[in-house]
Structure 1
Amino acid sequence: MYTIRELKTNDLSSICSFPQNEEELIFSFPKVVFPLTPDQIIETITSRLKPTVVLHNNNVIAFACLYDVQENTCSLGNVIVSSEYRGKGVAVFLLQTISTIAKEEYKVETLQLVCQNINTRGLIFYKKQGFNPVDLFWNQRQSGEYVVGIRMQKSLISI
């Protein structure tokens, strides 16, 4: 039903259409400005690994990548799913696929991510997928509002 492949340049405009508002963009690309542009994605992924898209009927419907590979851990970032495909198993498929990539290609035992305290849907999703909170930190947005980042991690040993 869904397939994956590495990101191609012609996928960028589709991904730019996924965030429906500034808040959704901050959840997946916290250091860019709404609306998302292809240049912002390109700049972000220069420090990322395995930029991956999910396809359905040859249409790009989700995106994520890995970064910060260390001895036994790497991080998952920039996770976003097209609004039309949310709640349809796409995020689960993407997470399972990218977890396998992290384990097999980078030989890590733990996958970690950061989810913001205001992203209730994301926190519930990641908890259901086996991620547990391990740390908190906070950042101040340009608006002056503080947002708490919740670092979560999951063991990849059993997958």
Structure 2
Amino acid sequence: MADYQSRPLSPDDLDVICGMPQHAGELFYMYPKGVFPLTPEQIREALKTRLCPTVITAEGGEIAAYANLYDCVREKECWLGNVIVALGYRGKGASSYLIRTMMDKAKRELGVPFLNLICHNTNTPALLLYTKIGFCPFDVSEKAGPDGKRLAGIHMRVSL
């Protein structure tokens, strides 16, 4: 397993992050409002309503993953968003490190007792990861996938 570190997003990171979603389906999981291929301008637009944009780097400084937080209400809850892991770091602990880092930021920097997320029912690897880390489902909402078909958005929560 690689030795990971976290740091705030830098404008120089945007091109690398834009290359992480391999197809429209992956972009949908990361950023349902996004249009494939992802562009730096789309990320900048999303950042207008996001907090704690964070990159995870591997040895040598290569970007392994990215996420941010949104809709944070102090002493109540926060939502995890725009989660993406670079292809070469999937299955190598980068996603777990990213999620735990964002949990810590939500608790320590934003003072919330719960971190929420929405994971689509078709994203089995992510559902299994979130469950392993301690997230539990608490609601389901209907979503339209990139192909227009119905999906379930599974709302999950973890206590911090």
Which one-letter code corresponds to 1:29 in the other structure?
A: Y
More moved, 143-152 vs 10-19: 143-152
Q: How many residues align?
A: 156
Which one-letter code corresponds to 1:31 in the other structure?
A: K
Which one-letter code corresponds to 1:50 in the other structure?
A: C
Secondary structure of the 1:69 match is strand
Deviations 1:44-103 (A, max 9, x none): 111000000011111111100011111311010111000000000111111111111110
Residues of 1 paired with 2:90 and 2:15: CA distance?
19
Residues of 2 paired with 1:61 and 1:16: CA distance?
12
Q: Which residue in 2 is equivalent to 1:65?
A: 68
Match of 2:11 among 9, 12, 28: 9
Q: Which residue in 2 is equivalent to 1:76?
A: 80
Q: How does 1:27-46 map to 2 (within 5 A)?
A: 27-46=29-48
**Structure 1 residues 60 and 142: CA distance shift in structure 2, 3 A:** closer
Structure 2: gaps of 5 or more residues: none
Identity of aligned residues (%): 45
Q: How does 1:1-159 map to 2 (within 5 A)?
A: 1-56=3-58, 57-70=60-73, 71-141=75-145, 143-156=147-160
Which one-letter code corresponds to 1:81 in the other structure?
A: V
Instruction: Give TM-score scaled by structure 2 length.
Output: 0.94
Computed over aligned residues only, the root mean square deviation of the Cα atoms, in angstroms, reads 1.0
Secondary structure of the 2:64 match is strand
Instruction: Give TM-score scaled by structure 1 length.
Output: 0.94
**Structure 1 residues 136 and 20: CA distance shift in structure 2, 3 A:** same
Structure 1: gaps of 5 or more residues: none
Secondary structure of the 1:96 match is helix
Residues of 1 paired with 2:10 and 2:56: CA distance?
12
Deviations 1:123-146 (A, max 9, x none): 111111100000000122464311
Contact persistence 2:24–2:146 (CA under 8 A) = no
**Structure 1 residues 118 and 142: CA distance shift in structure 2, 3 A:** closer
